[in-house]
Amino acid sequence: MSNPGFLDIISFGPDGWGHALAAGAWMTILIALAGFAIGSVIGTLGAWAKISGGRFLRMFADAYTTILRGIPDLLVIYLFYFGGSAVVTAVGQFFGAEGFVSFPGFLAGALAVGLTSGAQQTEVFRGAFRAVHPGELEAATACGMGRVLKFRRITAPLTLRHALPGLGNVWQVVLKESALVSVTGVVELLRQAQIGAGSTSLPFDFYFIAAMIYLAISTVSGLFLNASERWFSRGVRRG
């Protein structure tokens, strides 16, 4: 049987790999979104700790960002996956289960990506808050706004306006990091391309298709982020 052609590979017919590659791309997007969302929560808390936290919180946040930005992302994924599996196995054995219990690969990958991106987002949010003019925050206080209302109407929108370019860069990094999650057994886009390459002996075709899909996801998300920047910058005079 002859090897499938390029169009056969990307087709959604019975002999094509279109459905498998689409499912892999969707899994890549889910991992990236989950990791980015977790990182956003961590980054917000980390930035708050560095800006308004006490001495202990600032030291903890500094240690977190320094360590996570200095450890390879793949190693963090391994630590979450095998460390989580060890904990789950121990808990299972306590309740009478036997053998090795694997930690969910998707959860391990999302947590690991979220933890690493959280270190980057901490610095993005901290820098964005410092870019907000103090007079704007003082004006909100002078108008009698409470802390919560001031954060919702003034601090958060202005900080997000300055943070969006940096968050766009973090998103692109997270999207590429999602390919590392395949080591936990999750069949995302790169893993699906590896399976297809091994099954058909056409590695270049599958990896080229995967590269084009990654590029398409990156381009579309970039357009969305640019539109978000324009929306949050309404009424701002550009130099």
4-38 tens-digit pLDDT = 677 777 788 777 888 999 999 999 999 999 999 99
Tens of pLDDT, residues 74-100: 999 999 999 988 888 888 887 777 777
How far is Cα 136 from Cα 154, in angstroms, rounded to an integer?
Answer: 8
Residue 93 lies in a domain: yes
DSSP characters over 17-72:
SHHHHHHHHHHHHHHHHHHHHHHHHHHHHHHHHHHH--HHHHHHHHHHHHHHHHS-
Percentage, residues of the chain above pLDDT 70: 96
Q: Averaged over 119-127, what is the pLDDT?
A: 94
Tens of pLDDT, residues 190-237: 999 999 988 888 889 899 999 999 999 999 998 998 888 888 777 666
Question: Which CATH number fits the domain that encloses residue 134?
Answer: 1.10.3720.10
Range of the domain at 123: 26-186
Query: What total of structural domains would you count in the chain?
Result: 1
Residue 15 lies in a domain: no
Residue 35 lies in a domain: yes
